[in-house]
Amino acid sequence: MLSQDVLDRAAALLNLYHSKGLMLATAESCTGGLIAACLTAIAGSSSTVERGFVTYSNEAKNEAIGVDMGLIEAHGAVSEQVAGAMALGALAHSRADATVSVTGVAGPGGGTPEKPVGLVYIGGARLGSRQPFVERHIFEGDRSAVRQATVLAAFTMFEKLAEHQEPAG
């Protein structure tokens, strides 16, 4: 999984955050900690990576980062609303300046017509911002390909947050 391209992107992201004196945190569901694993594969990442939450179950989303169970019940764990709440929850439960969350259907099973395999919501939040940013993606390929594409899209969200740009989505 940790291709040289992924490691290069992770190193560039860490350098960007380090140069700005920013800390980051992740809240991951469908990637199961893969984003944090890619970032922490880089030596010196502890100066930039504050923490990572693996909130695979609905209960973990609620208990670890405060996502309201009513929100999950109303919209489903794989939803724009939950991705946004995850990003804000990670921000509230960490010392990070920026957080990115991911929730999706990596496959091969679990998809529905409304929420197909490959559907991923990526949330982003920045300290001082009241509203999260959320992007909706549908990634092609098998479970591994969906997860890798999610990692790269999460890196892009982090880059936008570092530059104070409003991510498209």
Q: In what order do the strands lie in the sheet with 49-54?
A: 49-54, 24-28, 98-104, 119-126, 133-138
Lowest mean pLDDT among 26-30, 103-107, 120-124, 160-164: 160-164
For residues 129-157, give the mean pLDDT.
Answer: 96
The pLDDT of residue 169 is: 46
- pLDDT tier for residue 163 given thresholds of 50, 70 and 90: confident
pLDDT tens, position by position, 75-93: 999 999 999 999 999 999 9
Q: Which CATH number fits domain 4-162: 3.90.950.20, 2.40.50.140, 3.40.50.300, 3.40.50.2300?
A: 3.90.950.20
Query: How far is C-alpha 79 from the geometric centre of its chain's CA atoms?
Result: 13
**CA–CA separation, 46 vs 91, rounded Å?**
17
Q: Show me where the domains of the chain are located.
A: 4-162
pLDDT at 165 over 60: no
pLDDT at 166 over 90: no
pLDDT tens, position by position, 94-120: 999 999 999 999 999 999 999 999 999
pLDDT at 59 over 50: yes
- pLDDT tier for residue 57 given thresholds of 50, 70 and 90: very high
For residues 65-83, give the mean pLDDT.
Answer: 98
C-alpha to C-alpha distances, 110 to 30, 106, 113, 114, nearest whole angstrom: 12, 8, 10, 11
For the chain, the average pLDDT equals 95
